[in-house]
Amino acid sequence: MTTPPLTPTTLRCGYLVNPLGVAPDRVAFSWMLEGTGHDRYQRAYQIQVTPAGQPPADSSGPAWDSGPVTSSCSTDIPYAGAVLTAGRQYTWKVRVWDDTGSISAWSDPAAFEVELGRTDGWHASWIGQGRAQERATPPDLPGPVDAVARTLTPAPYLRRAFRVGKPVAFARLYVTALGLYEALLNGRRVGDGFLTPGWTDYTRRILYQTYDVTGLLAEGDNVIAVILAHGWYAGFVGFDAKRAGAHYGAAPELLAQLVITHCDGSRQWVVSDEQWKSSAGAIRHADLLMGERHDLALEPRGWERPGFDDSGWRPAGCRERDGTPLVADPGPPIRVTQEIAPRSIASNGHGQHLVDFGQNLTGWLRIRIDGPAGAHVRIRHGEVLAADGSLYTENLRTARQTDEFTTCGSSEVLEPRFTLHGFRYAEITGYPGEPGPGDLTASVVHSDIAGAGAFKSSEKWLNRLAENIDWGLRGNFISIPTDCPQRDERLGWLGDAQVFARTACYNRDVAAFFAKWLDDVSDAQLNSGAFADLAPRLDLRNIRGAGAPAWGDAGVIVPWTMWKMYGDIGVLHRHLGGMTAWMDFLERTNPDYLRTRELGNSYNDWLGPGDDDTPPELLATAYWAYDAALMAEIADVTGRADDAAGYRALSSKVRSAFNDAFVGADGQVASGTQTAYVLALHMDLLPDEVRASAADRLVAAIQGADWHLTTGYGAIGHLLPALSSTGHAEIAYRLLEQKSVPSWRYMVEAGATTMWERWDGWTAERGFQSPWMNSFNHYAFGSVGEWLYRFLLGIDQEPGTAGFGQLLLRPHPGGSLIWARGTYRSVRGPISTGWRRSDDRFTFRVELPPNVSASVRVPSGQAAEVRDNAGHPPASLGSFPGARDVREAVFHVGSGVHEFTGPAMPDSGHPW
Ligand code: BGC
């Protein structure tokens, strides 16, 4: 029987499926392979790219034919053909030669469209309501009313009627806003994205979206209609209420370009210009932090369709574009990804209802009402309930997250769409009658990033933790990785992002998302080379802004993580300049190789129960040495051998300075905090001879804290990996399973459905932590997710490799777990592992996609007796890190399903 050839599937360009806008220098191709049997791999590939799409048809043949290329690479292969034409559509396909020598059929074609020329591709002008801004009535709500009243004005409505005289072959709408936009063509919403165009530093780059609107146009009369909102550009963001409306600009504006190609090849352009009309409608204000207010009686009925009389509307205010680059959105769109029905609805009998959705989430509520016109419905949102059972909102600080609707018909659907609320509970006032469960729906809104991870184990609470980690990501990955979705902050802190980045990759396919954010990081970098603490950067009170240890270092750690997880070398090339400038900045300011100067607004080991006890210079110097080691690896893979040697030399100088300043001959690290040991071990700063004793001291420090962790954002992601890789897997489990505060399990058992900002966000003894900083949806402590996948499930890569081509499958069973199984959908396809232990047996099962090789290391009390499912003995024996009587049976396998069974590890007897 012959083996069928491998088939290329899941074609992506720039990590997106058929993107309608890609920068020409980011056109790079990836695919996965499907096929049956064992040990299947790709020997060679061929890619063909052909101009397509709009007439006149191009008959000049492919723009690029790679010819057969002998390589197993299937990710991030850069386009290398003729110059790509801006705005043009191309199709591409791939075929592969596999291990049997067979050639696959050509894949189904995929497509991409090249972005417009960043400055010369646009013929539109910025338009808005001009000077005649209507002032909203200050909402009757507590808080800084002056600032709110100054900023919150009605959402501009803009429309333009036009005629289409001939049949349409092909039409694209290119659109963006300073602020947020929602576009409609002939009354139908364009696209399914929300909060477009997303957040960037609008003074440096503005993203736009491209839509295929061929099917929305009609021959004859047409109307394009757009609603604008203040968004990040002109609304509240961050915690400096006084500056709302002043971060970038005061009022939102639109830039739109509709390009219609007729069947006869002629083109028609409809662009934003002075021919548009403007007015206002039902949306009296719309703000990301504050919420929305709609007065439905004020909606100009039919304005979004042809035939509406707009003679009473004002001409739009219009200004010419400046040179700010307009860039096709490289990230995934923000969408409604799930709808959740209430778990309970309680009425207080006085026209107020409290709704529990059972899950802390980011999004908004959709309400169906059937009652008299003129009803006034107000919805407040909160993450938790106060002790008396009422909605707790103190931790929102000045963010109101309140929506209000005044109805005008008898049966209406009320829903905001230019705001975001972090909530599990909603308090509804003024609902006419009693809402049923079908009348209230929570829409979950975030960057729509495909799931990559699945985790299940014999411990229910741990499964909930894994879900909470993912919900933390979903609640905060909104155009950028924000810190929290509810209070007056919602900023792109670099420290949080770097400690969580690898966990994020294991949970979801964040390649395109982080590619976009790394451009923001680059835009925010100072001329000195210091990376800012925030990206996009904002000038906020109390924040000095750049260079903070563990924050600025994200500028190296996150690109390196993208390379590691996705094999993305393009991202390294794009950011080499910025990373080099950062390294130069550190060396220039700290000539003695201890990082003691220019620590900016040092946050040290932020929110660790022991954060004040770790010297800030220790954490800073550790991160510097780590950056230097990663830079050496980056220089290697980008082919710069001299730089690699230079960074290795730098890394050893910083390491020596670290050891001289902080490490004793007995392995004692400075203050003896857990963080000090975790960083020294994880970042490989210690001489070999003291590693074991430093690891023992880490364990002693944990014991000294009565088997609790004391690490904060600077070290938390590395705590369990440092323990497991120094032979203390059982201590890692002990921290994982710790039930009392501070611990992960404590949060879960206290009812958390997301990750909390603080270990003690709420305790039975003290109640809530200070409302000034107590978010219940911050992802940083969720960085333990990396350990769940890499160590517990054992889905890892051989050291020094990237992109999951050479796997290291080394499970770390332990604690009270009897079994665990999971999948990571890598760039090469899904990798699944699962283990189960009984009193005397241990079984490990792996399922691997084509085109990978794996070392499987099965822990066992008698490793020589472990067998694979064909009865083969191990290829060799190894040793399980640090464990005295546990050896590893080592097997080498390729694609397919493999199962290994052998005598169990000796029971640790759980000393606790
Ligand atoms: C944010 C954190 C952030 C920190 C920096 C906090 O307000 O919520 O996530 O990293 O500030 O100090």
| Residue given tokens 């929300």 in the structure block | 194
- Ligand 1 center to residue 298 CA distance, Å? 40
**Residue with CA nearest ligand 1 atom 5:** 603
Q: How far is the CA of 478 from the centre of ligand 1 (A)?
A: 17
Q: Whose CA is nearest to atom 9 of ligand 1?
A: 483
The ligand 1 atom nearest the CA atom of 551? 10
780 Cα: distance to centroid of ligand 1 (angstroms): 10
Sign of CA dihedral 629, 633, 636, 640: negative
Nearest to 655 by CA among 624, 632, 633, 630: 624
Within 8 A by CB and 6+ apart from 25, the residues are none
Axis-axis angle for helices 569-589, 554-566 (nearest 10): 150
Query: What does pTM read for this prediction?
Result: 0.96
Q: Output the ligand 1 site: residues, CB below 6 A.
A: 483-484, 489, 493, 495-496, 603, 606, 778
> Which residue's CA is minimally distant from atom 2 of ligand 1?
483
Range list of β-strands (E), 329-473: 334-340, 344-347, 352-370, 376-382, 384-385, 391-392, 402-406, 411-414, 421-429, 440-447, 453-457
Calpha distance 318→617 (Å, rounded): 52
Whether 477 and 449 have beta carbons less than 8 Å apart is answered as yes
Residue recorded with tokens 């730089």:
643
- Distance of alpha carbon 296 from alpha carbon 597, whole angstroms: 57
Say how far apart CA 568 and CA 565 lie, in whole Å: 8
7, exposed or middle or buried, with CB in 10 Å at 0-12, 13-18, 19+?
middle
Q: Which residue numbers are catalytic? A: 489, 757
Q: 261-270 burial, b if ≥16 CB within 10 A, otherwise e? A: bbeeeeebeb
Residue 28 pairs in a beta bridge with: 78
Cβ burial, residue 577 (10 Å; 0-12/13-18/19+) = exposed
Of the candidates 808, 822, 832, 894, the one whose C-alpha atom is nearest the C-alpha of residue 35 is 894
H or E element in which residue 221 lies: strand 220-229
Q: Which residues pair with 419 in a beta bridge?
A: none
Which of 240, 397, 490, 496 is the best mutation target for the ligand 1 pocket, counting ligand atoms within 8 Å of the beta carbon and taking the most? 496
DSSP β-bridge partners for residue 446: 335
Q: What are the φ/ψ torsions at residue 555 (nearest 5 degrees)?
A: -65, -20
Task: Compute the distance between CA of residue 637 and CA of residue 121 in angstroms, rounded to an integer.
Answer: 35
Conformational region of residue 148, where left means phi above 0, alpha means psi within -120 to 50, and beta covers everything else: alpha
Nearest 10 degrees: CA dihedral of 644, 650, 654, 655?
50
Q: How far is the CA of 333 from the centre of ligand 1 (A)?
A: 25
The Cα–Cα gap between 478 and 196 comes to 11
Q: How far is the CA of 483 from the centre of ligand 1 (A)?
A: 7
CB-based contacts of 870: which residues, under 8 Å, 6+ apart?
A: none
Q: Ligand 1 pocket test: pick from 491, 531, 541 the residue with the most ligand atoms within 8 Å of its Cβ.
A: 491
CA–CA separation, 619 vs 602, rounded Å? 10
Ligand 1 atom with the smallest distance to the CA of 713 is 10
**Whole-number Å distance between alpha carbons of 412 and 274:** 35
Residue located nearest, by CA, to atom 8 of ligand 1: 483
- The answer to whether 629 and 556 are in contact (CB under 8 A) is no
Q: Are the C-beta atoms of 791 and 782 separated by less than 8 Å? A: no
Q: What is the pLDDT of residue 139?
A: 45
Q: Which atom, in ligand 1's list, is nearest to the CA of 533?
A: 5
Strands 767-768 and 453-457: unpaired
Show the 3-state SS of 548-560: CCCCCCHHHHHHH
Closest ligand 1 atom number to CA of residue 494: 10
Which is nearest to 313 in space by CA: 129, 497, 523?
Answer: 129
Within 8 A by CB and 6+ apart from 903, the residues are: 840, 841, 842, 860, 861, 862, 865, 866
Ligand 1 atom nearest the C-alpha of 603 is 12
**Per-residue pLDDT, 371:** 84
In eight-state DSSP terms, residue 85 is P
For 358, counting Cβ atoms within 10 Å of its Cβ (0-12 exposed, 13-18 middle, 19+ buried), the class is: middle
CA distance 467 to 446: 16
pLDDT at 409: 84
10-residue averages of pLDDT along the chain (912 residues)? 89 97 97 95 98 63 95 96 96 97 97 92 93 44 49 92 97 98 98 98 97 98 98 91 74 97 96 98 96 97 98 96 96 98 94 97 97 94 97 96 94 96 98 94 98 98 98 98 97 98 98 98 97 91 81 98 97 98 98 95 88 90 98 98 98 98 95 96 97 96 97 96 94 97 98 98 96 97 98 97 98 96 98 95 97 97 96 94 82 98 77 43
User: Residue of the nearest CA to atom 12 in ligand 1?
Assistant: 603
The strand ranges marked E within 114-189 are: 126-128, 156-164, 168-178, 180-185, 188-189
772 Cα–ligand 1 center, Å = 12
Q: Do the Cβ atoms of 408 and 369 come closer than 8 Å?
A: no
> How far, in Å, is the centroid of ligand 1 from the Cα of 541?
13
Among 606, 607, 759, name the best residue to mutate to test ligand 1's pocket (greatest count of ligand atoms within 8 A of Cβ).
606
The single residue listed with the structure tokens 């400690």 is: 499
Residues 6+ apart with CB under 8 A from 140: none
As to burial, measured by CB atoms within 10 angstroms (0-12 exposed, 13-18 middle, 19+ buried), residue 60 is: exposed
- Pair 761, 768: CB distance under 8 Å: yes
Residue in 480, 483, 538, 778 to alter for ligand 1 test, most ligand atoms within 8 A of Cβ = 483
